[in-house]
Amino acid sequence: KQEVTQIPAALSVPEGENLVLNCSFTDSAIYNLQWFRQDPGKGLTSLLLIQSSQREQTSGRLNASLDKSSGRSTLYIAASQPGDSATYLCAVRPIPSGYALNFGKGTSLLVTP
């Protein structure tokens, strides 16, 4: 079964720093990988979706990369702000089942002023 791991579980950085969140998965047979943000007590908000044929996706200060062969993805956040504080989750959609995503447990990010 596909296992998704996110390290570290928690991260604290001062405002303005650039940071990288890591996601690894055990089986490279995936349709796509998706990054989400979750604020406390809220649902998940989709940030970026990377198809298996793509290497990266960008949205504003966020850049996500995908190295399918090594089973890794990174989410790069530029010039972090206190409003970026949240839990970030990655999920992969496996081949061939493909019906649902396998989620990591997330990285809890705190950006301090």
31 binds another protein (CB under 8 A): yes
Here the contacts of 59-62 (C-beta below 8 Å, separation 24 or greater) are 62/35
Among 19, 29, 44, 62, binds another protein (CB under 8 A): 44
3-class secondary structure, 83: helix
Amino acid at 18: N
d(CA 9, CA 37): 14
Find the shortest distance in angstroms from Cβ 70 to another protein: 22
Nearer to another protein, 10 or 79 (CB): 10
CB atoms under 10 Å from CB of 60, counted, come to 8
Find the shortest distance in angstroms from Cβ 73 to another protein: 15
Nearer to another protein, 76 or 103 (CB): 103
d(CA 50, CA 56): 7
104 binds another protein (CB under 8 A): yes
- Where along the sequence are the contacts to another protein (CB under 8 A)? 31-32, 34, 36, 41-46, 49, 51, 89, 91, 98-101, 103-106
